[in-house]
Amino acid sequence: MSQLEIAMATLIQTFDKYAGSDGKKNTLSKAEVKTLVEKELPGLLKTVKNPGEVDKLLKSLDFNGDAEVDFQEFVTLIVALTCAAHGRFSKQ
């Protein structure tokens, strides 16, 4: 597999790893998203000075307002974070 294919598979596996602890395998609950962010994006949490910002982030992920984060919403977060990181790294 190419690096991009591996990255895609990793996104799917990461979502699947955290989704479903509440019985719904196709979505992440707020608690599941919080656990995923804590475990998989610890550097993000270190840069957030206000804990309320994390809650805002979690709420902003729920584009359709169903109080859950589906795979498309999850991938949107990852893309946004990747774009932000790219901007930061390309300036260095």
pTM: 0.79
- Tell me, what CATH number does 49's domain have? 1.10.238.10
- For the chain, strand residue ranges (E) read 27-28, 69-70
Residue 56 or 14, more confident: 14
Tens of pLDDT along 36-87? 988 998 887 676 666 676 677 767 777 788 888 999 999 988 887 788 777 6
How many domains does the chain contain in total? 1
The domain in which residue 74 lies consists of: 3-91
Distances (CA, A) of 52 to 2, 11, 33, 80: 38, 26, 15, 19
